[in-house]
């Protein structure tokens, strides 16, 4: 029996939590030896990052299309709106 077969048989008898721990250790050993193994979670993270970058790019494009002038004073506009709605005096 080869080492791989022996390991396979032992892993098959482990509970799910034990297998997850073995995967973490195996990933760390692979990382230390420069072996990059892309897992499903890595692919999901990469996909999520691409979605976030695309969403951010869309926000930047929407900002470019905004109708506010460059010298728009949002604080003044907010104060005027609050004063108009609630009749506050500063």
Q: Cβ(62)–Cβ(68) under 8 Å?
A: no
pLDDT at 59 over 90: yes
Q: pLDDT band for position 68 (50/70/90)?
A: confident
- Where are the chain's structural domains? 1-37, 40-90
The number of CA neighbours under 13 Å toward the Cβ of 50 is 6
| pLDDT single digits (tens) 5-32 | 998 999 899 998 888 999 889 888 988 8
| pLDDT single digits (tens) 30-48 | 888 888 766 677 788 888 9
**DSSP class per residue in 69-89:** -TT--HHHHHHHHHHHHH---
What mean pLDDT is reported for the chain?
86
Q: Cβ(27)–Cβ(39) under 8 Å?
A: yes
């Amino acid at each position: 029996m080869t080492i791989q077969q022996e390991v396979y048989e032992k892993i098959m008898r482990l509970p799910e939590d034990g297998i997850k721990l073995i995967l973490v250790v195996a990933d760390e050993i692979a990382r230390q030896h420069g072996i990059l193994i892309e897992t499903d979670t890595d692919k999901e993270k990469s996909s999520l990052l691409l979605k976030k970058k695309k969403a951010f790019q869309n926000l930047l494009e929407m900002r470019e299309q905004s109708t506010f002038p460059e010298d728009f004073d949002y604080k003044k506009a907010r104060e005027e709106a609050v004063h108009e709605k609630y009749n506050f005096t500063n």
